[in-house]
Structure formats: C-alpha cells, structure tokens
Amino acid sequence: MLFVNTLIALLLLAGCLFLVGGAVGILRMPDFYTRLHAASLLDTTALICLLGAAILYVLTQHPDLNGVITSLKIILIAVFVFITSPTATHAIVDAGMRAGGKPWTRKNEEKQI
C-alpha cells in the first residue's frame, strides 16, 4: 500500500514538473516552432503521468468493477488526447509554415518571427 501511494505521489510530482517545464519552454525558447515543440511534448508527457496516477489511485481505492470501468474511461481520455494533441500541433506548425515563418537557427538569429 505504501509502495503504491509513493508511486502515485511520484507520478503526480513528475507530471507537475513536466507541466512547469512546458511553461518555461513556452516562455524561454527562441522561436515559434521550438516553443510549440516544448509545449506539445511536455504537456503530453505530463498528461501520461497525471492520468497514470489517477488510474492507480482509482484502482487502489476501488478494487472492484466500478474502479476498473472508471480507469478504462481514463485510458480513453488518454487515447483521445494522443490522437488530437499531435494533430493540433501539426496544424499550428502547418499554419506557421504557410505564413512563411522560418525555423530558428544560429545563423538567421536576427530574422526570427
């Protein structure tokens, strides 16, 4: 029991750290594409950790059919986020490319959008 609780706490902590990292990435990265990269990747990772903690918590608190059904619903949330989040990032990057934004490199550092 203690082991599972520690695991849940660690997962929650990791999720929060990833979210903070994503926020710092959005603020500090040099251009549009790298900011988007930080936001999308770290948010998805944080979501895995947080939902994993939620599933573990539900299964330990309610080790019966209701708990299993609830954790299946949480897994469904994760599946939908896995489909939609990369697509949204892809669409935003696509719009950025169409608008003519050049990716940041050390050479064209002055010409960033």
Name which of 10 and 76 has its Cβ closer to another protein: 76
Site for another protein in 24-63 (CB under 8 A): none
Asked if 38 contacts 22 with a C-beta cutoff of 8 angstroms, the reply is yes
Q: At what angle do helices 2-28 and 32-61 cross, to 10 degrees?
A: 160
Minimum gap (Å) between residue 4 Cβ and another protein: 29
Residue with the two structure tokens 């608190």:
61
How many Cβ atoms are within 10 Å of 33's Cβ, its own excluded? 19
Asked if 36 contacts 93 with a C-beta cutoff of 8 angstroms, the reply is yes
Minimum gap (Å) between residue 13 Cβ and another protein: 26
Minimum gap (Å) between residue 58 Cβ and another protein: 17
Site for another protein in 67-106 (CB under 8 A): 80, 83-84, 87, 90-91, 94
Name which of 91 and 113 has its Cβ closer to another protein: 91
Which segments of the chain does DSSP mark as H helices, in order? Answer: 2-28, 32-61, 65-98
Contacts with another protein by CB under 8 A lie at 80, 83-84, 87, 90-91, 94
